[in-house]
Amino acid sequence: MTVCYPDLKLRIDGEWLGAGTRRRHQVINPATGTTLGELPLVQGADLDRALEAADRGFQVWRRATADERARVLKKAADLIRERIDYIATIATLEEGKTLAETRIEAAATANLFEFYAEELRRTYGRVLVRPTGTRSLVMKEPVGPVAAFAPWNFPIANPGRKLGAPIAAGCSVILKPAEEAPGSALEVVRALVDAGVPSGVVQLVFGVPDEVSRHLLGSSIIRQLSFTGSTAVGKHLLALSANTAKRTTMELGGHAPVIVFDDADLTRTIDLLTMAKTRNAGQVCVAPTRFYVQDGIYDRFIRAFTERLAGINIGDGLLASSQMGPMANPRRPAAMERFIDDATARGARLLTGGEPEVRKGFFWKPTLLTEVPVDARIMNEEPFGPVAVVAPFSSLEEAIAHANRLPYGLAAYAFTESAKRAMLIGDAIEAGMVGINIVVMAAADAPFGGVKESGHGSEDGPEGLQECLVTKTIHHA
């Protein structure tokens, strides 16, 4: 397929900026290892200009009417839908996941913008009861310029999440998406620019991540940090934000447990879990990782799951025949190898996969491990890849103890036909999101986020808008 890959640019203070004398980063197609384009990286002066523009942009946008903000978000949603084939193809080229997946991502981003175009009208305050002639008003105001860092695993939806709620709230944003997948983020920003977002409201920057985050988070212009990525990087950015006491929304790593009870509908459960484990080659923060299966169906589950994972058709995400694309960058297959070697050296059994798919690009075969000791790295660190670890359990209490063992608390899943068990498990699990007989965790109107070391705050839903607002109380005598 011939696709016109976008000319990669920065967007600062209403201007698209090319490479000029700036440093460049090679963007690689993970399915072939070939170069897609050259990305300009910001210099310090660019970031200073972005900060000044964001400061000015905020003063304009905070005063815009609800109609003006809603019009921009609605129009951008329409443009993303019109351009869906192009945007989805760019994302597949850059990140590797299948076209079916990137189309869903683009559609979800349009839905999110549309949801916030409506939700922004419900930024209500309160009037408190006071003696006649006096008032106390509780006001909600936009927090201010936001520094947002989006990772590569959802190249369209992550930038969309970082922009939708702040723009709805009346904030300006400096967005630094991942350097691995810049074209998709650029197209999301282009939709907003074409929809008429005023200059200075959205800046798009790329650079050396640590340089950019230190520069932006060191500035008192930035009032809010919004980060999605690993727990380790998240803690580092929280420390940088502490100096200026910024507000933070942190969507960090996960290690999702799945509890499959004896009474689960096995065929449907395996269908859903195969899809969830291989979606985006497992590079999803809510991907199921530790599968705890009750004794009575353990053997049948293992047989069926092994067969399904082994049968996944791996290939270039642009091909309709591919069910799973490559991993996003060469770091990921290397990490899979280390996790699997560590587990098997400690006595784990490898039932399928465990090796790269031999072809160009960064492909890894869906892998299933059993009998993995609890101290193996993969039982404790986020694998972020298509590797499943399955272990048996007997009682509900035992399953809950396994599920809650780690410091992570992002997503968790349970499969059962018993309403009572579903209720108990929903209450007992320490996670920001629990899926009972379902694996889809994201929707425009539903809060998305974790607890414990998986972060704090929410994206999406009314809660995502609240993250971008601060409270002011005005007392009138």
Q: Kind of pairing, strands 387-393 and 247-251?
A: unpaired
- Smallest distance, ligand NAD to C-beta of residue 72, A: 26
- Residues in the chain, overall count: 477
230 lies in the binding site for ligand NAD (CB under 6 A): yes
User: Segment 335-374, which members bind ligand NAD (CB under 6 A)?
Assistant: none
The catalytic position among 95, 179, 187, 251 is: 251
Nearer residue to ligand NAD within complex by CB, 392 or 432: 432
Query: Please, what is the Cα angle at 350 between 349 and 356, to 5 degrees?
Result: 155
Question: Considering beta carbons, is residue 101 or 251 the nearer one to ligand NAD?
Answer: 251
Task: Show contacts with ligand NAD in window 279-298 (CB under 6 A).
Answer: 285
Number of residues that bind ligand NAD (CB under 6 A): 21
Task: Report the nearest approach of ligand NAD to the CB of residue 232 (Å).
Answer: 6
C-alpha to C-alpha distance for 3 and 149, rounded to whole angstroms: 27
Is residue 209 close enough to count as binding ligand NAD by CB under 6 A?
Answer: yes
Cα dihedral 139→140→141→142 (10° resolution): 180
Contact flag: residue 151 with ligand NAD (CB under 6 A): yes
Alpha-carbon torsion, ordered 312, 316, 320, 321, to 10 deg: -30
> In angstroms, how far is the first alpha carbon of the chain from the final one?
69
- Asked if 152 is part of the footprint of ligand NAD (rule: CB under 6 A), the reply reads yes
The beta strands (E) that lie in 115-251 are given as 126-128, 135-142, 146-149, 173-176, 202-204, 224-228, 247-251
- Does 228 sit near ligand NAD (CB under 6 A)? yes
248 near ligand NAD, rule: CB under 6 A? no
Looking at the Cβ atoms of 251 and 460, the one nearer to ligand NAD is: 251
Nearer to ligand NAD, 50 or 72 (CB): 50
From the list 102, 203, 213, 367, which residue makes contact with ligand NAD (rule: CB under 6 A)? Answer: 213
Nearer to ligand NAD, 392 or 449 (CB): 449
Task: Name the token pair of 194.
Answer: 């074409």
- Burial bucket for residue 125 (CB in 10 Å: 0-12, 13-18, 19+): middle
Question: Binding to ligand NAD by residue 331, rule CB under 6 A?
Answer: yes
Query: C-alpha dihedral over 82, 29, 276, 113, to 10 degrees?
Result: -30
Examine residue 253 and tell whether it contacts ligand NAD (CB under 6 A). yes
Question: What three-state secondary structure class fits 307?
Answer: helix
User: Binding segment for ligand NAD among 38-46, 193-201, 232-240, 419-427 (CB under 6 A)?
Assistant: 232-240
Containing 93, the helix (H) or strand (E) segment is helix 84-95
Examine residue 210 and tell whether it contacts ligand NAD (CB under 6 A): yes
Distance of CA 291 to the CA centre of its chain: 22
Q: Is 457 in the site for ligand NAD (CB under 6 A)?
A: no
What are 177's two structure tokens?
Answer: 């998406």
**Sheet with strand 135-142: strands edge to edge:** 126-128, 135-142, 469-476
In the complex, the smallest distance separating the C-beta of residue 7 from ligand NAD, rounded to whole angstroms, is 22
Contact 61, 192 (CB under 8 A): no
- State yes or no: is 251 an active-site residue: yes
- Residue number, 308 or 332, with CB nearest to ligand NAD: 332
Shortest distance, position 93 Cβ to ligand NAD, whole Å: 18
What beta strand segments (E) does 359-477 contain?
Answer: 367-370, 387-393, 411-415, 433-436, 455-456, 469-476
CA–CA distances in Å: residue 171 to residues 203, 221, 362: 12, 12, 38
Question: Which of these is catalytic: 119, 171, 285, 467?
Answer: 285
The 412-451 site mask, x for binding ligand NAD (CB under 6 A), equals: ----------------------------------------
Q: Considering the complex, what minimum distance in angstroms separates the CB of residue 395 from ligand NAD?
A: 31
| 3-class SS of residue 354 | coil
Binds ligand NAD by CB under 6 A, chosen from 153, 224, 278, 370: 153
The yes or no reply on residue 206 touching ligand NAD (CB under 6 A) is: no
129 in Cβ contact with 80 (< 8 Å): no
H helices of 180-230, where?
Answer: 182-194, 209-217
Q: Which stretch binds ligand NAD (CB under 6 A): 29-37, 100-108, 218-226, 246-254?
A: 246-254
| Residue whose token pair is 């499943």 | 388
Q: Is residue 149 near ligand NAD by the rule CB under 6 A?
A: yes
CA 145 to chain CA centroid, nearest Å: 21
Structure tokens belonging to residue 141: 């105001």
Which tokens in the block code for residue 68?
């003006």
User: Scanning residues 390 to 419, which ones bind ligand NAD (CB under 6 A)?
Assistant: none
Q: Which stretch binds ligand NAD (CB under 6 A): 192-200, 227-235, 265-273, 430-438?
A: 227-235
Closest distance between ligand NAD and the C-beta of residue 366, in Å?
Answer: 18
Contact criterion met (CB below 8 Å) for 17 and 10: yes
Q: Which stretch binds ligand NAD (CB under 6 A): 251-259, 290-298, 429-437, 460-468?
A: 251-259
Stretch that binds ligand NAD, among 109-117, 226-234, 262-270, 366-374 (CB under 6 A): 226-234
Q: Quick check: 384 binds ligand NAD (CB under 6 A)?
A: yes
Q: Which residue ranges make up the site for ligand NAD (CB under 6 A)?
A: 149, 151-153, 178, 209-210, 213, 228-230, 233, 236-237, 251-253, 285, 331, 382, 384
> Which of the residues are catalytic?
251, 285
